[in-house]
A and B are shown apart, each in its own frame.
Chain A
Amino acid sequence: MSALERRCRWLLRAYPAWYRRHRAGEMLGTLLEASPSGARRPSFRDAWALMIGGVRVRGWTWLISMLWVVIGATGAIYATVALSHPGYNEVTLIPPTIQWPGEPQVIIYAAPIAEIAWLLLPVPLLVAGFVRLRGWRPRNWLRVAGWAGSWMAGLALMNQAADWLAAGQGGSWGVLSVGEMAICAAWLALGGAMTWILSSPQTRADSSVNDSNVVTR
């Protein structure tokens, strides 16, 4: 496999698995034909168009799940900084929001809004997921169970972080960053799992040919 083909295959991962099963072989062939002889990587135009095309095919369920991941990861970083920085010992914890101890004031307002948004996003995400999965079919229950379980695990980790905070107030702040980093990693993993769940509907019935030569997942 050439370097160009390997990179093209990697770029095609921008599309969800069900789309790649239907289209990836055909698109890969077109990409390779359209690339200049001797090229080692696809052009910037092709790479950009593939990324945009992938987002379009994934639709708003993917965007919502990515928004959920970004807010979660940002929140974990925010909490880590707010709770473990030596200058922020006067942090006030207002459950479930960690209050920023100083300026700028906008962060004090933005943090709880972002947290509420993060808590509410799973609802449209769940609805969108079922629209994408085409309803309450028996085979979807496993995916839903995995999705709900991972989300509950995220909440449990948040509670653990609160416990670590309480312990840290006794004098040991070092443990906080470990807890927040675990939450950050969990958020990213859960977001990845949700994205996989929501971008993998049942095999399209209108896909008359399965491009099994390019199964990238």
Chain B
Amino acid sequence: MREPTYFVLASLLDGPLHGYAIIQRAEHLSGGRVRLATGTLYTALDRLTAEGYVELVSEEIVNGRMRRSYGLTPPGAGALRAEAERMAAAASLVTGRGQSPKTVRSAWKVSPA
């Protein structure tokens, strides 16, 4: 899972958000590292929706334009958690040395998106 995808999914953990809110939330969560361009965001949303990780939650008209809110699906939440565990296991190689190499290897195999 690429970093922008990870932070798009992570931004939806606390509830559905619309496009610009996802951009803001992802930038905040990543400490300013992930600044999604609008085209990049909607490419990611199209793909994640097709994969069943994200779903359309609501639609409303704001300032005469469509505004859609997207939410995390259970498979999306599962993929996000698996990715977080994989990264945590990989990080522990350096920071904690708390897991056996076998555990780390199995964690790296889980990369659903």
Instruction: Tell me, yes or no, whether B67 is within 8 Å of chain A by CB.
Output: yes
Contact between chains at A29 and B65 (CB < 8 Å): yes
Contact between chains at A34 and B65 (CB < 8 Å): no
Q: In chain B, residues 42-76, which have Cβ atoms closer than 8 Å to a Cβ of chain A? A: 42-43, 46, 56, 59, 62-68
Instruction: Tell me, yes or no, whether A103 is within 8 Å of chain B by CB.
Output: no
Q: How extensive is the interface on chain A, given as a class?
A: 20 to 34
Instruction: Tell me, yes or no, whether A60 is within 8 Å of chain B by CB.
Output: no
Query: Of A29, A53, A54, A56, which contacts B67 at CB under 8 A?
Result: A29
Contact between chains at A46 and B39 (CB < 8 Å): yes
Instruction: Tell me, yes or no, whether A132 is within 8 Å of chain B by CB.
Output: no
Given the interface contacts A26-B67, A29-B65, does A34 sit within 8 Å of B42 by beta carbon? Answer: no
Instruction: Tell me, yes or no, whether B108 is within 8 Å of chain A by CB.
Output: no
Q: Which residue of chain B has the shortest Cβ distance to A28 in the bound complex?
A: B65
Contact between chains at A30 and B59 (CB < 8 Å): no
Contact between chains at B19 and A27 (CB < 8 Å): yes
The distance in angstroms between the C-alpha atoms of A33 and B68, with both chains bound, is 14
Contact between chains at B23 and A27 (CB < 8 Å): no
Q: In chain A, residues 23-75, which have Cβ atoms closer than 8 Å to a Cβ of chain B? A: 23, 25-31, 33-34, 43, 45-46, 48-54, 56-57
Given the interface contacts A33-B20, A209-B59, does A26 sit within 8 Å of B68 by beta carbon? Answer: yes
Chain B interfacial positions (CB closer than 8 Å to A): 18-20, 23, 35, 37-43, 46, 56, 59, 62-68
Known: A45-B35, A57-B43. 6 other contacts (CB 8 A): A34-B20, A43-B37, A50-B37, A50-B38, A209-B66, A214-B65
